[in-house]
Amino acid sequence: MSRMTKFRTALSGPEEPRQRLLALATVVNTIGMGIFLSAGTIFLIRSAGFTPTEAAIGLTAGSLCGFGAGVVIGDWADRRGSREVVIGSMLLEAVASISLLFVNNLWSLIVVAAAAAVGRAGTVSARGAMIGVLAGEKGAQYRTYLRAVTNVGLAIGTIGAAVVLAFDTRPAYVSVIVTDTVTFLLAAAILTRLPHIPPTRAAKKKEDAEGTEPAEKERRWVALRDLPYLALTATSSITSLQYFVLVPALPVWIVMHTEAPRWMAAVVLFFESILVAATQVPATRSIDGPRSAARLLALSGPVFLVSWVLIAFAEGPSAGVALTLLIVGVVLHALAEVWQAAGTFELSFALAKPEAQGQYQGVMGLGHGLAEAVAPIVVISMCVNWGKPGWIVLALVVMAGGFVCALIERVWSRSQPAAEAAPATA
């Protein structure tokens, strides 16, 4: 098969029906996610009557209430089958979403946000277990494809959010919540067409005919005892700070510190989502295992550095120069994000034990959830308040994190038996 033929095959998506169903559910779900990420907080402020501080406290407190749920729910997915757990988690997210229409005080917002956080954590970890089963021999290619369709969904969602923000009315904001709810229900309905996916932890149990109850308990929380994976989780959480540079730091930077047109702040997320969706497959087709994933992850750091230096130096010049620097910076950011996200995604599966993917993805989500909680404070303080030096220092930190992730993969691969380590050096 020629290189061009392989490329066209990657763009056309998976041929396996179960993989297609999961990809379809993913794009439907992320359309709602894109709408809510862009307009959900504004709904709470402009339509539900919360102050910005109350909205921030409610959402943050709710998210912290769901902290750690992904590990437990991921373990359920490993033991009971991921299909049913993903569907149940999405239904919980749907209930939490529609409940936002009825919140009228801070405590009710915290309860709803907590339910949404638990549902989201469960969806991510159980979906990770499902991907581990469905990906098969073409795991890297399929995971790259899912990253691409995720960004397509996000881009579509941001378009809908832009329309809502233009109308700025109660009915328009209500449509955000209703649409988000419907996408959860539709995605869950699509996944009901999948056959039952057998528990992976049950299969492991059968292999150990001599195992005892204490031994089973000993290896139940295997992900929490896996030091290389815990190190990968901690370090990749640092590199994931790059997601929060575009939202919220960059729009504020554009409006407050540059002469670029204000509309640039509104189109950044859409523009970057389109770039990521378009380049995800071609830019990461070299990934065929953990070693190549680690290589791209390490390469993303220097590209982030160049990107953020350009963005930082958009402060000061004329509007035309600032706009040029911002556009080039965002293009480079998109390329670096593709490498960082795909590399992390692949390593999160490759370094996990196959029979406990749900639990491992829950641990990975735990680290990234903590990063998500502190990211707004970190990126605003460094990029907006500190200014140019902050952009550069944060880029150096993210770059160092990428190099450490690659080092962790190398140490992990050397610890594997020869038969398991071979794919890593392919």
Q: pLDDT digits over 32-85, tens only?
A: 998 887 788 888 888 898 887 788 788 878 888 878 888 889 989 988 889 999
Closest CA to 170 of 42, 53, 58: 42
The answer to whether the beta carbons of residues 413 and 425 sit under 8 Å apart is yes
The two structure tokens encoding residue 2: 């020629």
Query: Quick one: DSSP state of residue 104?
Result: -
The answer to whether the beta carbons of residues 270 and 159 sit under 8 Å apart is yes
Whether 175 and 251 map to the same domain: the answer is no
The two structure tokens encoding residue 417: 């038996």
pLDDT for 3: 44
The two structure tokens encoding residue 392: 């550069």
Can you list the positions of beta strands (E) in 158-221?
A: none
Query: Quick one: DSSP state of residue 351?
Result: T
Place of tokens 């067409």: 193
The two structure tokens encoding residue 135: 């990906």
Q: What is the CATH number of the domain that holds 83?
A: 1.20.1250.20
C-alpha count within 13 angstroms, C-beta hemisphere, residue 169: 5
Any domain includes 22:
yes
Q: Please report how the helices 106-135 and 17-46 are oriented relative to each other, as an axis angle in degrees rounded to 10.
A: 160
Whether 189 and 285 map to the same domain: the answer is no
The answer to whether the beta carbons of residues 158 and 270 sit under 8 Å apart is yes
Whether 397 and 301 map to the same domain: the answer is yes
**SS3 label, residue 145:** helix
- Quick one: how far is CA 191 from the chain centroid? 20
Q: Which amino acid is at 26?
A: T
Pairwise CA distance, residues 58 & 88, whole Å? 24
Q: Name the pTM for this structure.
A: 0.76
328, pLDDT greater than 70: yes
Kindly state the average pLDDT of the residues 392-399: 97
Any domain includes 180:
yes
Any domain includes 137:
yes
pLDDT for 199: 86
Q: What residues contact 150, with CB distance under 8 A and at least 6 apart?
A: 26, 27, 30
170, pLDDT greater than 80: yes
Whether 43 and 182 map to the same domain: the answer is yes
Any domain includes 209:
no
207, pLDDT greater than 50: no
Any domain includes 5:
no
pLDDT for 9: 46
In the chain, how many H helices and how many E strands? 19, 0
Q: pLDDT digits over 105-153, tens only?
A: 999 999 999 999 999 989 988 988 898 888 766 666 787 788 778 878 8
Whether 41 and 138 map to the same domain: the answer is yes
C-alpha distances out from residue 256 to 42, 170, 172, 385, Å? 20, 29, 28, 10
Whether 408 and 284 map to the same domain: the answer is yes
CA torsion sign, 30 to 27 to 32 to 268?
positive
At which of 177, 194, 211 does a domain end? 194
Whether 49 and 87 map to the same domain: the answer is yes
Whether 233 and 184 map to the same domain: the answer is no
State phi, psi for 81 to the nearest 5 degrees. Answer: 110, 130
What is the residue range of 148's domain? Answer: 16-194
Give the range with max mean pLDDT: 14-23, 90-99, 357-366. Answer: 90-99
361, pLDDT greater than 90: no
pLDDT for 324: 94
Closest CA to 246 of 364, 329, 149: 329
Q: Please report how the helices 69-80 and 200-207 are oriented relative to each other, as an axis angle in degrees rounded to 10.
A: 60
State phi, psi for 334 to the nearest 5 degrees. Answer: -60, -45
Any domain includes 4:
no
Q: How many domains does the chain have?
A: 2
The mean-pLDDT minimum among 97-111, 121-135, 266-280 falls in: 266-280
Whether 260 and 328 map to the same domain: the answer is yes
Any domain includes 10:
no
197, pLDDT greater than 70: yes
Buried (b) or exposed (e) across 158-193, using 16+ Cβ within 10 A? bebbbebbeeeeeebbebbbebbbbbbbbbbebbee
pLDDT for 368: 85
Any domain includes 199:
no
Whether 178 and 277 map to the same domain: the answer is no
The two structure tokens encoding residue 153: 């969904």
Whether 34 and 162 map to the same domain: the answer is yes
Pairwise CA distance, residues 422 & 416, whole Å? 9
Q: What residues contact 166, with CB distance under 8 A and at least 6 apart?
A: none
Whether 226 and 168 map to the same domain: the answer is no
Q: Which amino acid is at 339?
A: W
